[in-house]
Amino acid sequence: MKRRIAGVVAALAVLAVLAGCSSEPGVEKYVTDAPGNYNSEDGAVTKIAEANRGEVVSYSSETTDGVAVDSTDYLGDVVVVNFWYAACPPCRVEAPDLQALNEQFTGKGVSFVGVNVRDQADTAKNVEEEWGLTYPSVIDTNNGNMLLAFSATVQPNAVPTTLVIDKKGRVAGRILGQITDPSILETMISDTSKED
């Protein structure tokens, strides 16, 4: 009986967190009549209409190889930002899908950037190689610059979280948690790529 009560309490806590994720400014439930905005029923997928996107997100960091990365490097491209870490099971599961989409959109004005939130560079680099990821990842564990940069707009409230950034550097969408259907992210990237 105590386990059952504990399970119910834990489930309610998770629902409370998810409910909080969908209350950001400029983002409304799909069932509303706000044009272009939607959240999936479970709160995992968020799309933000162009007119409702916040400010340009500025960030800078270093890749696992020590190469400087800055948001201005990607202006004019759609950027897929994936928050992950080595010991994250759903991160491992979705990695092949992210890599496949990275390959599909190579040379089409789309860039992928991983953000490792817990590991040091050597660990992250080894895992990238193990998982077959060819796009760069930055290390955020020491200073949290990337998490902080995005927290004012659309928070990456869970790991993994994947953000789609438009050509102007604004958050256009978010998948909170594991990507269970890569076609959703593919559509988000394609739709954002078509924007001026």
Find residue 152's DSSP bridge partners: none
So what's the pLDDT on residue 54? 86
CB atoms < 10 A from the CB of 135, how many?
18
- 1.10.287.610, 3.30.465.10, 3.40.30.10, 3.40.50.2300: which CATH number matches 2-193? 3.40.30.10
Cα gap 49→130, rounded to integer Å: 37
> Going by DSSP bridges, is the β-strand pair 78-84/161-165 parallel, antiparallel, or unpaired?
antiparallel
Per residue in 132-141, pLDDT (tens digit) is: 999 999 999 9
Residue 66 · residue 121 · CB < 8 Å? yes
Domain boundaries, the chain: 2-193
What's the pLDDT score for residue 44?
82
Average pLDDT over residues 9-38: 34
Q: Return the DSSP state at 63.
A: B
**Is residue 129 scored above 90 in pLDDT?**
yes
At residue 5, the pLDDT reads 38
Amino acid 79: pLDDT: 98
Q: What's the predicted TM-score (pTM) here?
A: 0.78
Output the six-digit token pair for 195: 């924007």
- Above pLDDT 90, what percent of the chain? 66
Average pLDDT value for residue range 142-164: 86
